[in-house]
Chains A and B, each alone.
Chain A
Amino acid sequence: GAGVSQSPSNKVTEKGKDVELRCDPISGHTALYWYRQSLGQGLEFLIYFQGNSAPDKSGLPSDRFSAERTGGSVSTLTIQRTQQEDSAVYLCASSLVTTGGDEKLFFGSGTQLSVL
């Protein structure tokens, strides 16, 4: 596709249920990021994938959060036993990796997660 695609665009779930959020990055982009944004706030880094390297999971807020990236392309962010404080917009971004380290991120439109 032409841009980063995220699905679903909106997800309403009940507390305690598991959810899966999907991100389809720009073709050829080897780096993929997940961020979380609460209402009116900045972006909180969650996890970073780069090629075949081990992902940087340092931003995941708890062990209820996990993510995988299959075949170096599509990524799935899974939240188990959702809590109300998980409600936020989950943003995915991808980028090319350059030797200069000046990657520009291309963002998807996000998934608005509401936990009731």
Chain B
Amino acid sequence: SQQGEEDPQALSIQEGENATMNCSYKTSINNLQWYRQNSGRGLVHLILIRSNEREKHSGRLRVTLDTSKKSSSLLITASRAADTASYFCATDEGSARQLTFGSGTQLTVLP
């Protein structure tokens, strides 16, 4: 079953604009991660936020976590055409070691 669910499913923006993607989950977590996937192949880890953190930054990425709402957002600022990819959130379920991935947001950045 899917733990994280991303919203929107698809997002198209102009280069230079900001892109915001949201993720909701159902059960308690230790941490939440965001991954990027190009061309339907291997995923690349972007950022991890722990359950006791509310916000984290990495370059042009900003992630927030609201455990009371069981939701997270990924903001990409000043987007570039090269940011075009699918973005997935992934959560661990308590003591389970496996990560559960959502269905992803397809981001298209138009030059």
Contacts and interface: CB of A to CB of B under 8 A. Distances in A.
B42 A109 contact: yes
Contact of B45 (A4, A101, A105, A108): A105
A42 B55 CA distance: 25
Interface string A36-61: 01010111010010100000100100
Interface in A10-65: 31, 33, 35, 37, 39, 41-43, 45, 48, 50, 56, 59
Interface size class of A (residues with CB under 8 A): 20 to 34
B interface majority secondary structure: strand
Contact of A56 (B2, B45, B97, B104): B97
A91 interface: yes
Contacts of A45: 98-101
Interface string B81-111: 0000000101010001111111110000000
Interface of B: 2, 30-31, 33, 35, 40-45, 48, 50, 88, 90, 92, 96-104
30 contacts: A33-B99, A39-B40, A42-B2, A42-B88, A42-B101, A42-B104, A43-B43, A43-B101, A45-B98, A45-B101, A56-B96, A56-B97, A56-B98, A59-B98, A93-B43, A101-B31, A101-B92, A101-B97, A102-B31, A102-B48, A102-B50, A103-B97, A104-B33, A105-B35, A105-B45, A105-B90, A106-B45, A107-B42, A109-B41, A110-B41
